[in-house]
Amino acid sequence: MKTTDIDLLPVLGRPTLSGDGRFAAVTVTRPDLAAEGYTSELWLAETDGSTPARLLTQGPHDAAPAFSPDGRHLAFLRPVPGGPGQLHLLPMDGGEARVVTGHPIGAGQPVWSPDSKFLAYTARVPEPGRYHDTPDREVPRRITTLRHWADGFGFTLDRPRHVFVTDPFADDPMTVTTQVTDGNHDHADVAWSPDSRLLTFTAARHAGAGDDLRNDVWLCAPDGTGLRPLTDGGLILGCPRFSPDGSTVCFAAEPLDENNNTYATMSYGLWSARVDGSGPARRLTGEDYHLSFASQMIHPVADGVLFAADHRGEVNLVMVPYDGGAPKPLITGARQVNGYAAVDGTGGLTVAAVVSSATSAGDLIRLRGTEERELTDFGRQLVKQADLLPAEEFTATAPDGYELHGWIVRPRGKGPHPVLLQIKGGPYTQFGHTLNGPAAFDEAQVYASAGYAVVLGNPRGCSGYGQAHGMYVADDLPRKSAPDLLALLDEALKSPDLDADRVGVMGGSFGGYMSAWMAAHHGDRFRAAIGERGLYAVDSYAASSDDGVNVAIALYGPDPSRWAEKSPLTYADSIRIPMMIIQSEEDRHCPMEQAQRMFVALKSRGVPVEMLLFPGEGHDMSRTGLPSHRVARFEAILDWWGRHL
């Protein structure tokens, strides 16, 4: 696979199903190198597979489709000329889409009422005078909370997200739109009750909101009356959804500590609470079930709640009974479920799911009973056009006897091949059979195609192997992660076609942090290192990151006096191998000052170091940045390894 083959990697969004389960629609987003951007279109598939999936809209920036339950209309997001994305309504019996919202900085995902009469959604409401002029002409911001901005977005405190309801069939929907919530609070994940009489959503409306991670599930009528919380703290949660009988709201959540901070490596499980408020919220899944980062959604149906769980590099779709019994597997195997929709009909449960694998960045499948049917063939097209290399699964043993899990992607030929130890982000995420998610599908393929054997693995501290596996690193993240990573590398190096004398270490985010740590503490094992969008100094990270205080406490402990001993920058004088630092200028999660401090520390000591800065990009540049930047990044990485390995 070549550096420019990102054009071959369409990414499918979360699908939607018509109420009778006959049709599925999904967003397909593609990098476009020639146009220096991305295009997104809506595709339509008949779930019986009788005809090939076809283009429904021409884009170029259509997204977030939602079928009305009666199947007669499709709501979706499309930018208006010269403006942001607004909700549009497309009649499925023919005709043009028409715009139904007009918010100054755009609308969010549309959600239909079960009676197909109304749309709920969220939209940010800017303070008066904000975001109408160039930033340098705005009045100063008065900041009073720790959490006030976000990577890839900017300031959040002066444009809170509110819930809205509109009648999309009105002559002028914008004149009949109701703002359901108010105040300086963010609201998210809105959903309807089965009788269309209630809304549920998440919000942090408690005293101290903005300084901690707590939020709660809330209920109200579609006109905003009767607002009340359904949970009372102690959790960070999302995706509230009513059960089909309307008696319960199910949601995904992770317990918080006594200060409402996250543990960072604790499972994000399935919970439920009674709508009438009788009794506390209860957990339905055991601690070993963790909602996948790839999916981030739940879906209640008649027999239980659909839940996409990380499992040993897979993302399995399971059905969790409402009584909290053993989950039933629906879609499993060496692949990942990245999004899905489901409807209960006369023929039983129909599921449309986007599934990625070692040969597909994502394809749409339909599940009915135990029968699967593929509805798109993007994966087959990729295999035809790109020279994909297999990922070989292996296990390793940590120094304390614990079994670890990893993969090798080998170049073609006999070797011996130079080796890259690629460390994943997170840490509470997973590498998978698709090598997707935290690491883009193209990463290992591009490096292996260039002649490098790529070693990837899931040390303790990651998800997919149970909560004890994740929490193992809680008291000393770097020192407990390093032996596991070296054990994975050593097991891979037993292969005679891998050259143990030519090994590099690289990674992004947590992987960037650990690459610097390995360079400082285990530099004799590596010829060179690459740290990308990394955290290198916990003290300044805590003050400069969009989630700095929480991450610093969760991963490195509540005692700031111990942060230095867990900061790679502290040990910069032990780094002697060449190091490249890759950084995005607009990264607000691992800000540029982290990269600058490490660069200066190494440069002033005479260590061979280079810093590659990408203008206008955020934390996720390697996955969502300008196509030309993604290609330039690949070329710089291959140039670096070409010089040092």
Q: What does the pLDDT read at residue 437?
A: 38
Asked if 72 contacts 93 with a C-beta cutoff of 8 angstroms, the reply is: yes
Cβ neighbours for 234, distance < 8 A, ≥ 6 positions apart: 214, 255, 256, 260
Q: Which residues of the chain have pLDDT under 50?
A: 436-440
Instruction: Sketch out the chain's domains with CATH numbers.
Output: 66-337 (2.120.10.30), 389-644 (3.40.50.1820)
Distance CA 421, CA 412 (A): 18
Q: What is the pLDDT of residue 132?
A: 77
Give me the phi and psi of 122, to 5 degrees please: -115, 155
**pLDDT, position 439:** 36
Tokens describing residue 60: 């170029």
Contact status, residue 220 vs residue 227, Cβ threshold 8 Å: yes
The pLDDT assigned to 150 comes to 92
Please give the single-letter amino acid code of residue 288: D
Per-residue pLDDT at 459: 97
Which letter does DSSP use for residue 483 in this model?
H
421 alpha-carbon distance from chain centroid? 23
Tokens at residue 300, please? 């209640």
Residues 127, 108 contacting (CB under 8 angstroms): no
- 453-458 vs 417-423, strand pairing mode: parallel
> Which tokens belong to 244?
């089909």
> What number of residues does the chain have?
645
Give the number of other Cβ atoms within 10 Å of residue 286's Cβ. 14
- CB contact set of 546 (below 8 Å; sequence gap of 6+): 147, 149, 150, 151, 588, 589
Helix (H, G, I), strand (E, B) or coil at 37: strand
Q: State the pLDDT at residue 358.
A: 83
Q: In this structure, what token pair is assigned to residue 141? A: 């911001």
Query: Residue for token digits 């304390």?
Result: 400
At what angle are helices 442-449 and 627-644 packed, to 10 degrees?
40
Question: 470-508 burial string, b = 16+ CB within 10 Å, else e?
Answer: bbbbbeebbebbbbbbbbbbebbbebeebeeebbbbbbb
Name the pTM for this structure.
0.94
Distance (Å, whole) CA 642 – CA 645: 6
